[in-house]
Amino acid sequence: MGRRDDSGVIAPPGRHAVAFAGVLGVALAGAWFGWVGATRLAAGQDFRHTIATQRAVMAGPALLIAVGVIFLAERRWPAVRRPMLTRAHVVDAGYLALFAVVVAPLVVLVDTGFAVDAQRHASFLILGRLPVLPRALVVVVVLVAMDLANWLAHGASHRFGALWRLHAMHHSQEDMSVFTTFRTHPLVHASYLPALVPALVLGASGPVPTDALVAYACFVALAHANLPWTFGPLRSVVVSPAYHRLHHASSAIDERGTVNFGFVLVCWDQLAQRALLPSARFPVPTGIAGRPVPVEQTAGPFRTLGVMTAQLSQPFERRPSIDGPS
């Protein structure tokens, strides 16, 4: 007989133990890659400069300015009207600060370690320079392949219990805004490491420009915004805020379950028959039914750090929680 979890769903025996072990496995993998990356960068001439340069791509001035502009747009054209500073905004702003100060440098180490191990143990995947292809085409191919890898990793996060434990925190937000982009568990970044593979495979043909990576990150942030935008004729091509909001719906919209996994391009969802284009109807409620992850809406007004601590520690709890695929 299975054991009933917090959402009322009976989970098969052993699922919780497997999910917990999987979370520990992701943590160990992240720690290993971080150690390898730190060792490699420490052997270089300017460890701090490398960290600062790479962190600028993930949480630099350009991205922060874009987030600020999108937040102002939310005040002017909100999908759902809210006060200026809700508890949700405060908690997600806390995650933005945590990401910029602590998580981003750690992600640099993990990414570097993953690249080093890939070059050591899977060098056959790495192509030499391709002079036949124009540089601009190589950049486009890398970005499109990276978006596909992100889509696959995102789908896995909804299918496998261990990854869902880490990803669920992101879905717990019931008052989405552009800041929700940064409501992610630090370990979840390890599950998106395959997105580095396209750049490694084609790296000899030239790196992807920093501006292109920043633009990609800005577009991902825009998708989480509290905006009713559908992008009109482009709504079936690129992910809009209205499109991605359907992915965060607190309950299934149709018989397919969770839909709209795309980061930037809609085509991957269309190929998997998981695309649901937004309509003009009222925005759907977001969050996780049953609130299995601690949320700020049930805490006191001055419990921001307590809520964040509870959310960050939740994947490591042994109690049955949210191990089922979403």
pLDDT more than 90, % of the chain: 58
Is residue 71 predicted with pLDDT exceeding 50?
yes
- Contact in structure between 205 and 138 (CB atoms under 8 Å): yes
- Contact in structure between 67 and 146 (CB atoms under 8 Å): no
Is residue 118 predicted with pLDDT exceeding 60?
yes
What φ, ψ does residue 249 adopt, rounded to 5°?
A: -55, 140
Residues 87-108 have pLDDT tens digits of 899 999 999 999 999 999 999 9
Is residue 306 predicted with pLDDT exceeding 50?
yes
What φ, ψ does residue 265 adopt, rounded to 5°?
A: -100, 140
H/E segment holding residue 11? strand 10-11
Is residue 82 predicted with pLDDT exceeding 80?
yes
Q: Which of 13-17, 143-147, 271-275 has the lowest mean pLDDT?
A: 13-17
DSSP-derived secondary structure letter, 265:
B
Nearest 5°: the CA angle 165, 166, 170 is 105
Average pLDDT, rounded, for the chain: 87
Q: What is the pLDDT of residue 4?
A: 37
Q: What is the pLDDT of residue 323?
A: 59
Residues 242-258 have pLDDT tens digits of 999 999 999 888 888 89
Is residue 1 predicted with pLDDT exceeding 80?
no
| Higher per-residue confidence, 303 vs 77 | 77
Q: Which of 51-60, 183-192, 234-243, 249-258 has the lowest mean pLDDT?
A: 51-60
**Cα first-last separation, the chain:** 21
Q: What is the pTM of this model?
A: 0.89
Q: Are strands 3-4 and 10-11 parallel, antiparallel or unpaired?
A: antiparallel
Question: What CA–CA distance (Å, rounded) separates 269 from 247?
Answer: 11
| Higher per-residue confidence, 207 vs 211 | 211
* 268-288 average pLDDT score: 90
